[in-house]
Amino acid sequence: MKTSCPACARAATVASVLLAVLALSSCGSARRSEPVTGPMKMEEESVRRGKLLYDAHCYKCHVQGEGGMAPALNDKPLPRFLMHFQSRHGLGAMPAFSEKEISDRELEDILNYLVALRRHGK
């Protein structure tokens, strides 16, 4: 007899969608070691805070958004909600970061920086 709970089915669906989006987004070529043209303008305060937070929490694995000990971030067209989900829940080798480690506001600042970094590299 097969039993399933709605929460388990929902979690499986979310995980399947997330894995599919991640698989599709990784089909593009990585920007590994390709120079970023000129200094990045960080006019928004949120982007400046995001850079500092990124350097403190993310840089050791995602050096300048490129692949280091982890996959590159600056070439992935992931929607913000998926980047937020992965940051909070972890996936693969990436650890989950709780609200005690990185507040919601800090996480939004990091995401703002990542989006600006992605746009700057184009």
pLDDT single digits (tens) 30-83: 444 454 455 677 788 999 999 999 999 988 888 766 667 777 676 667 888 988
Give the integer Cα–Cα distance in Å for 85 and 18.
9
Q: Which domains, ranges and CATH numbers included, belong to the chain?
A: 6-120 (1.10.760.10)
Residue 102 DSSP class: S
- C-alpha pair distances (Å), 6 with each of 11, 12, 15, 39, 107: 9, 10, 14, 49, 29
Tokens standing for 74?
């600056």
For residue 43, the 8-state DSSP code is -
Both tokens of residue 98? Answer: 């709780």
CB 34 within 8 A of CB 77: no
Q: pTM of the predicted model, to two decimals? A: 0.67
